[in-house]
Chain A
């Protein structure tokens, strides 16, 4: 049971990283990204291919950087597009990444996948239990990324992104370079998605294309919607709730005897969908509100008040 809870905690950590990234891109900056899974896959494959050669930490950094560069590139090409068209381009990107991974076997070993990805602190893990070390690593990674993104969200950068989300034309008329700001937001989000992919690869130690289906993107959107667009704290709650629902409903079969396990597993996803719909009806702003700067914080000139 402990092992199972550890597994869930690590899966929540990965989902939280992906969700935090999407919360920056879509939640704060208003940029739809339906290709989230593509950036996660790039991070995972970069890590899988590089970690045995250059070590886990440099590989993770490269995974983040590569994903950030590709995000920036995609944004430069398509971000002038209206919201709906950006959505289409990103869906396409996600699919292209999956197909490239599947077919460029010389690099990715295609459908066979890549095995034996080294974990961080592997020697320490052998000494005191691999999963214990790994869960500390995963939670620390989430904590660091959360802290950095939360600083960003509460800074003028976060505020100008929310301004762009509300009305890009007005923000441009106020002298802001909307295009450059959007590209930056997209790139930072991409970096975090790449790092989430690295964590995914480290944890499973084996990756193949079947792990990177659009459902990963859907879970990220669910977490952002449930948590409340723009709130990083809400996102953490959202990611936990979604994973708890996903995993918790597995045990329903122990209590429900009317229908069999196969039917129940089909119902599970339906239940999560219904949960999201209910949440949107009952609490459309999500679980936690977006952080706002109060005038008094700045006027008292007391930095601790922030």
Chain B
């Protein structure tokens, strides 16, 4: 483990045509914490998350994970580094069953090779069985095991969010970035989500979360970065930033 923050973003800029989604944004996520990213719509939170996970390439600036520059790393290499993410609008793999959704996730699957899928059956079956035990444990944990053989497309919004999180956990990441884990989640499942994230944090997983639900942010986040117009505006604990005049102005659009 290197000293310094787990994930650091330095002066990142990204334009989409004439729109500056990110405009010199710098911030850090500390290991062992839940860090919130909040801000009004259009502040650049989701773009920042995409830049952090290699789905969008920044025009300028850099992203460092455990001190290593990952700015130009392709999205599919992040899980191997120890970083996973979930999506804002849940993008479950709808025609796969709940259980299959999880089994896709583990890294280095022998059975994903063309030749090995046919002739290396003994080996990949052993891997699958081991992965299946982990997947069952995770599904039990999020309360979805009874739906294991159902198509994931039929789950409710909240259940899909839990499935998305369970799938990310199967990658055994150090850091999970959650894009609006509370959006469209029924209140009982939201409590479940908060409990789960707290448990995982206690087990040593770090989180970054983009969220509009201030109750959820207040419950979970050790530290919050407020973004506005593609930059970091204020950082601090949730209590600190929620009292900050600039934050109120950014949300309400009052002229500074």
Contacts and interface: CB of A to CB of B under 8 A. Distances in A.
Interface of A: 148, 151-152, 155-160, 162-163, 165-167, 169-178, 181, 184, 188, 230, 290, 292-296, 298-299, 301, 303, 306
B99 interface: yes
A175 B79 contact: yes
A299 B132 contact: yes
A155 B148 CA distance: 18
A188 B93 contact: no
Query: Which 3 A-B residue pairings sit nearest by Cβ, starting from the closest?
Result: A175-B79, A156-B111, A155-B117
Interface size class of B (residues with CB under 8 A): 35 or more
A157 B96 contact: no
A156 B93 contact: no
Given A156-B111, A157-B112, A174-B104, 6 more contacts: A152-B117, A156-B110, A159-B103, A163-B93, A295-B99, A298-B99
Given A152-B118, A156-B112, A181-B112, A295 B148 contact: yes
Contacts of A184: 114
Interface string B110-145: 111110111001001100110111011000000001
A175 B75 CA distance: 7
Contacts of B94: 166-167
Contacts, number: 135
Nearest to B76: A172
B129 to A, nearest CB: 5
A295 B121 CA distance: 18
Given A159-B100, A163-B93, A295 B132 contact: yes
Nearest to B133: A299
29 contacts: A151-B117, A151-B118, A152-B114, A155-B124, A156-B103, A157-B114, A157-B117, A159-B100, A159-B104, A160-B104, A160-B112, A162-B100, A163-B101, A166-B92, A166-B95, A167-B93, A169-B55, A173-B53, A173-B55, A174-B167, A184-B114, A230-B95, A292-B97, A292-B149, A293-B100, A294-B149, A298-B128, A298-B132, A299-B132
A158 B118 CA distance: 11
Nearest to B126: A301
A255 to B, nearest CB: 42
B83 to A, nearest CB: 10
Query: Chain B contact residues: over half helix, strand or loop, or mixed?
Result: helix
A148 B114 CA distance: 10
B77 interface: yes
A295 B96 CA distance: 12
Contacts of B74: 172
Contacts of B118: 148, 151-152, 155
B104 A163 contact: yes
Nearest to A156: B111
B171 interface: yes
Contacts of B107: 175
A293 B125 contact: no
Contacts of A158: 117
A180 to B, nearest CB: 9
B168 to A, nearest CB: 8
Contacts of A152: 114, 117-118
B129 A174 contact: no
A295 B114 contact: no
A181 B76 CA distance: 12
A152 B120 CA distance: 11
Nearest to B87: A170
B85 interface: yes
Contacts of A303: 125
B96 A298 contact: no
Contacts of A173: 53, 55, 75-76, 78-79, 84-85, 87
B143 to A, nearest CB: 15
Contacts of A298: 99, 103, 128-129, 131-132
B91 interface: yes
